[in-house]
Amino acid sequence: MGLPSATKWTREQVATRILAGDTLFILNGNVVRVPPSWLTSHPGGNLAILHYVGRDATDEVDAFHSDETLQKMKGFVVGRVELGEDGWVPFVPPIANGWVRRMGRDGKMEWYNEARPLKSTEDSDTSPASQILLKKAQAGAEETQTGPTLAQLQPTPNKLSPKTEKMHSDAYKELHKRVIDAGLYKTRFITGYGPEFVRYTLLALISAVCYYKGWLVASALFLGLFWQQLTFFAHDLGHVGVTHDWTLDRLISIFVADLIGGMSIGWWVNNHNVHHLVTNHPSHDPDIQHLPFFAISPVFLNSLWSSYYKREMTFDAFAKVLISVQHKLFYIVLSLARFNLYANSYGYLAKTAFEPKRFRGGRWWWWTEVLCLGLFFAWFGAVLKGCGSWPNILTYLLVSHVAASPVHVQIVLSHFSRSTADFGPVESFFARQLRTTVDVICSPRIEFIHGGLHLQVTHHLFPRLPRHNLREASLIVKEFAKERGLEYAEFGFVEGNGEVTGVLKQVADQIKIIGMVADSEVREAMQT
Ligand code: HEM
């Protein structure tokens, strides 16, 4: 690079370096350069960073990193930029237009066009002018264009005002300070996790006692409830939100998620971080990419490209049948969702088997996960074998997996009925999380059923905040949002289910309408 860290960079210089392949983002007015070797070993995954290339990532970086990491990040600063009255004028990251870096035939890194942009032709709340969805790249397209262009880096203005977004960003910083000052980053080991551990132990014990008594359905039911509750603990650990020590939290989470639950925590964290950063973006957020089973927006009927799964989400004849009745299949599909999570988990571990060492965890995380999954298959396999007959085995498998499934309903409630529009890089982290996320109202007495994660808006704003402090933090956030006239969305559990199935029905109806229009066109053509 050759530029010392005190150097002032112009916006043009930043753009030129990005187009040349550098991974740059803005942090508190500094230009941060992530070296390629670091990008692949980033504990939050490479996509987390790629979605912020050319943008001011200060709020996101503050939300996701420990103080120790924030200090270390200073070592990656390569210069400064002039921030205007409305802050940094962001670029559109190359990945948003389908451009990624990969090794070329000559052994050098080069741009690769994995997808082509599908731009909005209007400027509405559901389809803002800034919206870029992705479609699979056409064969041979990369030969005509060798990398992203300067024009592609420039965001299309929409109805968002950069001044207002800057105000939201400043407000978020102030809010974060209030949360820190209130001491809410301190984990409540005794009063928070104490009752949790009693609950986990009881559920596991009841399941074991029932099993040895031969009450298999009851045993499976309590095993499922035990898994359901442990999911929340694994979630906290995945966010480094328990001991706040990456290695310790990761080790405990491998024990909980892989050994007891049979799922890869590495996969879950990788997936979940992307979801937190590009929440509800149809082409980038894996948590809303569920074809052929669900489509929460008509845009999915265009067979979009997923930058997370690196494949086309094909809306084929099979998907068409399922989506047209998705609101009716909603609970049935979710009750079996755990099997899909196993598949994704093992696929991720297979894919990462030959990845380079990580900055945190080197390769041990991978081997420990594989070992713990082996142990899971050994103990759960023995449990199933002990059920005796095939009908008993099948019943045990189904009951335990269905009993663990309410957690999936809860997760989708928090986002499925919220906006999936892409307001581009100008939108602040604060405003984006409030727009795409909703809380489920629930009494503190029964909030353990939701694992406390029904306070999803506050969780999205402060992902590393220990779960048992979310209620207290949410009160601060709500008051703060009210002061600034921002919406903090929340609904009751029943109302939320109604909204989500309503959204699914709307998309399903859309298919019927498209089908009817096509039929009448054919009829008209035959008559003429
Ligand atoms: C040079 C730049 C960066 C460095 C050195 C860095 C370093 C790290 C480290 C060490 C962790 C482990 C957690 C911790 O110890 O704090 C982490 C996690 C993470 N990072 Fe970064 N990071 C960088 C840039 C970014 C950017 C630009 C983003 C996105 C805006 C990002 C998103 C994340 C996420 C989502 C996690 C996972 C946290 C969680 O699971 O709760 N990082 N990063």
For residue 365 and ligand 1, the question of a CB distance below 6 A is answered with no
Out of 135-139, 360-364, 415-419, which region has the weakest mean confidence (pLDDT)? 360-364
Q: Let me know whether 327 and 430 are in one domain.
A: yes
Range in 189-193, 423-427, 449-453 the model is least confident about: 449-453
Q: Which of 65, 91, 117 is the last residue of a domain?
A: 91
- pLDDT at position 518, please? 64
CA 51, distance to chain mean position in Å, is 12
Distance 124 CA to ligand 1 centre (A): 33
Do both 132 and 266 map to the same domain?
Answer: no
Residues 317-335 pLDDT 10s: 999 999 999 999 999 999 9
Of 476, 508, 523, at which residue does a domain stop?
A: 476
pLDDT-based confidence at residue 412 (cuts at 50, 70, 90): very high
Instruction: Based on the fold, state whether residues 366 and 268 are members of the same structural domain.
Output: yes
CA angle 399, 405, 410 (to 5 degrees): 160
Pick the residue whose CA is nearest to atom 41 on ligand 1. 239
Output the CA angle 513-518-522, nearest 5 degrees: 150
Residue predicted with more confidence, 515 or 127: 127
For range 74-78, the mean pLDDT: 96
Query: Is 378 inside any structural domain?
Result: yes
Collapsed DSSP state (helix, strand, coil) of residue 279: coil
Q: What is the pLDDT of residue 391?
A: 98
**pLDDT greater than 90 at residue 268:** yes
* Cβ of residue 62 lying under 6 Å from some atom of ligand 1: no
145 and 187 together in one domain: no
- C-alpha–C-alpha distance, residues 237 and 448, integer Å: 17
Residues 270 and 194 in one domain: yes
Mean pLDDT, rounded, for 33-42: 91
The structure tokens 């703060």 sit at: 480
Q: In the predicted model, what is the mean pLDDT of the chain?
A: 93
Indicate whether 501 belongs to any domain. no
Of the pLDDT bands very low, low, confident and very high (cuts 50, 70, 90), residue 2 is very low
The answer to whether the Cα torsion of 101, 289, 457, 334 is positive or negative is negative
Same domain, 99 and 87: no
ipTM for the complex shown: 0.94
pLDDT at 143: 57
| Residue 317 and residue 382 in one domain | yes
304 found inside a domain: yes
| Share of residues in the chain with pLDDT > 70 (%) | 95
pLDDT in tens, 4-16: 577 899 999 999 9
Report pLDDT for 264: 97
159, part of any domain = no
Query: Is 50's C-beta closer than 6 angstroms to any atom of ligand 1?
Result: no
d(CA 253, CA 260): 10
Give the per-residue pLDDT at 142. Answer: 52
Tell me whether residue 307 is in a domain.
yes
Tell me what the mean pLDDT of segment 287-310 comes to.
97
At residue 389, does pLDDT exceed 50?
A: yes
CATH for 84: 3.10.120.10
Whether the CB of 76 sits within 6 Å of ligand 1: yes
40 and 79 together in one domain = yes
Residue 498 domain flag: no
Same domain, 130 and 274: no
Ligand 1 mutation pick, 31, 53, 65, 269, max ligand atoms within 8 A of CB? 65
Asked if the structure places residue 426 within a domain, the reply is yes
User: Is 488 part of a structural domain of the chain?
Assistant: no
CB contact at 8 A, 22 and 33: yes
Instruction: Based on the fold, state whether residues 130 and 239 are members of the same structural domain.
Output: no
Q: Of 435, 454, 476, which residue sits at a domain end?
A: 476
The best mutation among 38, 64, 276 to test binding of ligand 1, ranked by most ligand atoms within 8 Å of the C-beta, falls on: 64
**CA 385 / ligand 1 centre spacing (Å):** 43
More confident residue, 431 or 517: 431
| pLDDT value at residue 197 | 97
Res. 166 pLDDT band, cuts 50 70 90: very high
Say what the pLDDT of residue 304 is: 98
Q: How many secondary structure helices (H) and strands (E) does the chain include? A: 23, 12
Beta partners for 440?
A: 491
Q: Which band of pLDDT confidence, cut at 50, 70 and 90, is reported for residue 240? A: very high
DSSP annotation of 358 reads: B
Tell me what pLDDT residue 138 has.
81
* Spatial separation of the C-alpha atoms in residues 401 and 395, rounded to whole Å: 10
User: CA–CA distance from 148 to each of 56, 355, 422 (Å)?
Assistant: 20, 26, 20
Residues 6+ apart with CB under 8 A from 507: 295, 296, 297, 298, 300, 301, 323, 326
pLDDT at residue 453 in the model: 87
Whether residue 436 sits in one domain with residue 287: yes
Q: What is the mean pLDDT of residues 406-434?
A: 95
Distance 357 CA to ligand 1 centre (A): 16
Query: Which of 198-212, 406-420, 473-487 reaches the highest mean pLDDT?
Result: 198-212
Q: How many Å lie between the centroid of ligand 1 and the Cα of residue 398?
A: 38
pLDDT, position 522: 64
pLDDT of residue 50: 98
- Give the residues across from 354 on adjacent strands: none
- Provide the domain limits for residue 231: 174-476
Statement: residue 526 has pLDDT above 70 = no
pLDDT at 294: 97
Q: What are phi and psi of 99, to 5 degrees?
A: -100, 130
Q: Which H/E stretch holds residue 251?
A: helix 246-253
| Residues 145 and 178 reside in one and the same domain | no
- In whole angstroms, what is the distance from residue 465 CA to residue 269 CA? 16
Between residues 363 and 462, the one the model is more confident about: 462
- If one counts the domains in the chain, the total is 3
